[in-house]
């Protein structure tokens, strides 16, 4: 069972205890901190109020079910889960097992005027699934029992999944047929294919497989106005695309019950490598050249100097890192060096050719290629980072991120401003924030910018929430200032909604609102999210 107040499965030993070097590094950057006291599950279950939901065969009103489906994974969600002060709980959790069950739940909600919150894996980091106080009873619809591979058309390479299927179950079921979806958000272990569509997700290997927009071929959606079956076409010029209406719909228009995805045969070979550039500018120039010359890599990640040194310090291999840094120094690198992680996936020939071409660009931009050993380490720990939140929480430290996507011409100034704005946003209270950045999804036109920040918990949960609000506002305002999208991959939810009008414009927001209203005239589908 999923952890009720953190990341991972309760059966797993998901603790990620920080070693003493890592702790020292963090203390050196932001100072020593004191952990906040955690509420217990029993204490928190005792706070769940009586349910206001009418009875239904598919709806559980058990306090623990309601508690476990109340929140996602944002910092406000963590603070709610750890303090036990959730504020609002859903009045019931529906567990449908088929599209017909979802239809039945929606009809029931319509009849009894219930608020409906679709819930995939609950990995939202922007308050997408947080229930808000409402005089109407609130029902969360947990999709995780709809988790089967329903159909596979190997000739067309299309697979149909229940919308609640999580990343590992998708890959496990496809692997039996020799296929992969290749969609690996860092939240892959716990997020669902329906959630990916509803929040426009992007996986770590989007360079090869594409974002979910490319992978989502069609499917079935239950709405309050009826069922939409979206057929699959390789391409169409028949007017606006219904798939696009539901990509990023965040549970406002209906519940996706079946998702048809484009699949690929499992690649013959896959490897990850690391190189270092002497400066941020060299890294930017090289990665832009690689993507604009269509080199067939499956992933790229360029860490700025602060992220590079943070990763090397937190790697936990002091001697190996010293040897590496000595070698890079001999080759002309300084404190300004930037780590470049990249992957090749495909046939042996494709991988060989992509590596050869990439190494040429690395050399041309004065980079130093260090081979595959650090790449293997990245591969091994690619889904481990979320567990780091536990180790940090235990020493009174929180970690969060802001991400955007911009045209290449805007990237350098935006990176500097976003990172600096976040790092200095607690200056009035003389709090240090450790902020660092990488670029991780690359397009000919631009790339995504991902800034991570580490900060200390305050003396109370309320003050810690206030700190986070300042950090979030500083990062979001800087993104908007530079014309970036408010999210490249995390979506809008509640936390990013105030910044959406800036990029959609008044008319654009009106169009989205009216579309939501067409499907949901009484405003019962996940109100307060996307377009409040």
Ligand X SMILES: Cc1cc2nc3c(=O)[nH]c(=O)nc-3n(C[C@H](O)[C@H](O)[C@H](O)COP(=O)(O)OP(=O)(O)OC[C@H]3O[C@@H](n4cnc5c(N)ncnc54)[C@H](O)[C@@H]3O)c2cc1C
Binding positions for ligand X, rule: CB under 6 A:
72-73, 117-125, 128-129, 143, 163, 185-187, 191-192, 194-196, 198-199, 201-202, 250-251, 255-256, 386, 489-491, 526, 529
CB 402, min distance to ligand X, A: 13
CB 471, min distance to ligand X, A: 17
Compute the distance between CA of residue 143 and CA of residue 257 in angstroms, rounded to an integer. 8
CB 168, min distance to ligand X, A: 13
CB 430, min distance to ligand X, A: 29
In the complex with ligand X, the residue whose CB is nearer, 195 or 343, is 195
Nearest to 439 by CA among 418, 467, 461: 418
Token look-up 């890592």 returns 22
133 CB neighbour count, 10 Å cutoff: 8
In the complex with ligand X, the residue whose CB is nearer, 95 or 361, is 95
In the complex with ligand X, the residue whose CB is nearer, 73 or 333, is 73
> What order do you get walking across the sheet with 397-407 strand by strand?
368-369, 269-277, 338-346, 299-303, 434-442, 446-456, 397-407
Three-state DSSP class for residue 474: helix
In the complex with ligand X, the residue whose CB is nearer, 256 or 457, is 256
In the complex with ligand X, the residue whose CB is nearer, 116 or 355, is 116
Bridge partners of 369, per DSSP, are 275
CB 219, min distance to ligand X, A: 10
CB 98, min distance to ligand X, A: 13
CB 462, min distance to ligand X, A: 23
Compute the distance between CA of residue 476 and CA of residue 463 in angstroms, rounded to an integer. 20
Nearest to 408 by CA among 438, 437, 444: 444
Q: Which DSSP string do the residues of 75-143 spell out, in sequence order?
A: HHHHHHHHHS--S---SEEE---SHHHHHHHHHHHHHHT-EEEEESSS--SSSTT-----SS-EEEEE-
Nearest to 277 by CA among 330, 322, 321, 333: 333
CB 64, min distance to ligand X, A: 18
In the complex with ligand X, the residue whose CB is nearer, 339 or 388, is 388
CB 56, min distance to ligand X, A: 19
Sign of dihedral through CA atoms 476, 478, 480, 485?
negative
In the complex with ligand X, the residue whose CB is nearer, 159 or 362, is 159
Token look-up 């067409």 returns 518
In the complex with ligand X, the residue whose CB is nearer, 277 or 436, is 436
Bridge partners of 346, per DSSP, are 269
Cβ atoms of 68 and 2 within 8 Å: the answer is: yes
């Amino acid at each position: 069972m999923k952890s009720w107040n953190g990341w991972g499965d309760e059966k797993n030993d998901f603790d990620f205890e920080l070693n003493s070097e890592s702790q020292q590094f963090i203390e050196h950057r932001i100072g020593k901190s004191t952990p906040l006291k955690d509420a217990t599950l029993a204490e928190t279950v005792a706070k769940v109020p009586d349910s206001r939901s009418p009875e239904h065969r598919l709806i559980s009103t058990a306090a623990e079910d309601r508690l476990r489906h109340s929140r996602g994974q944002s910092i406000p969600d963590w603070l709610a889960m750890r303090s036990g002060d959730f504020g609002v709980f859903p009045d019931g959790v529906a567990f449908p097992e088929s599209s017909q069950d979802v239809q039945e739940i929606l009809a029931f909600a319509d009849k009894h005027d219930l608020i409906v919150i679709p819930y995939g894996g609950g990995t939202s980091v922007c308050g997408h699934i947080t229930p808000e106080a409402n005089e109407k009873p609130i029902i969360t619809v947990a999709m995780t029992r709809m988790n089967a591979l329903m159909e596979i058309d190997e000739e067309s390479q299309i697979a149909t999944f229940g919308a609640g299927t999580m990343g590992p179950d998708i890959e496990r079921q496809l692997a039996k047929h020799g296929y992969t979806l290749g969609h690996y958000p860092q939240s892959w272990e716990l997020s669902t294919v329906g959630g990916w569509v509803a929040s426009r997700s992007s996986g770590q290997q989007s360079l090869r497989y594409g974002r979910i927009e490319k992978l989502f071929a069609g499917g079935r959606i239950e709405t309050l106005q009826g069922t939409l079956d979206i057929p699959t076409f390789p391409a169409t010029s028949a007017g606006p695309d219904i798939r696009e209406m539901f990509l990023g719909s965040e549970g406002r228009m209906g519940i996706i019950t079946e998702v048809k995805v484009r699949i690929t045969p499992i690649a013959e070979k896959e490897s990850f490598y690391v190189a270092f550039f002497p400066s941020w500018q060299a890294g930017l120039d090289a990665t832009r050249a690689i993507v604009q010359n269509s080199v067939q890599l499956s992933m790229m990640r360029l860490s700025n100097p602060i992220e590079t040194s943070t990763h090397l310090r937190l790697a936990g291999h002091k001697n190996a890192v010293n040897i590496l840094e000595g070698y890079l120094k001999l080759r002309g690198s300084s404190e300004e060096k930037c780590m470049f992680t990249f992957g090749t996936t495909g046939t042996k020939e494709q991988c060989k050719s992509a590596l050869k071409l990439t190494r040429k660009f690395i050399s041309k931009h004065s980079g130093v290629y260090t081979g595959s050993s650090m790449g293997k380490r990245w591969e091994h720990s690619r889904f481990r980072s979320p567990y780091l939140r536990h180790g940090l929480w235990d020493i009174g430290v929180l970690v969060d991120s802001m991400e955007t996507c911009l045209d290449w011409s805007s990237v350098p100034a935006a990176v500097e401003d976003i990172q600096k704005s976040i790092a200095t946003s607690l200056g009035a209270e003389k709090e240090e924030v450790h902020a660092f950045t990488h670029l991780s999804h690359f397009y000919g036109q631009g790339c995504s910018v991902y800034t991570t920040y580490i900060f200390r918990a305050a003396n109370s949960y309320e003050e810690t929430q206030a700190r986070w609000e300042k950090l979030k506002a500083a990062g979001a305002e800087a993104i908007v200032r530079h014309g970036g999208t408010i999210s490249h991959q995390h979506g809008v939810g509640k936390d990013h909604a105030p910044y959406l009008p800036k990029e959609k414009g008044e008319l654009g927001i009106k169009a989205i609102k009216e579309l939501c209203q067409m499907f949901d005239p009484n405003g019962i589908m996940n109100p307060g999210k996307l377009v409040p």
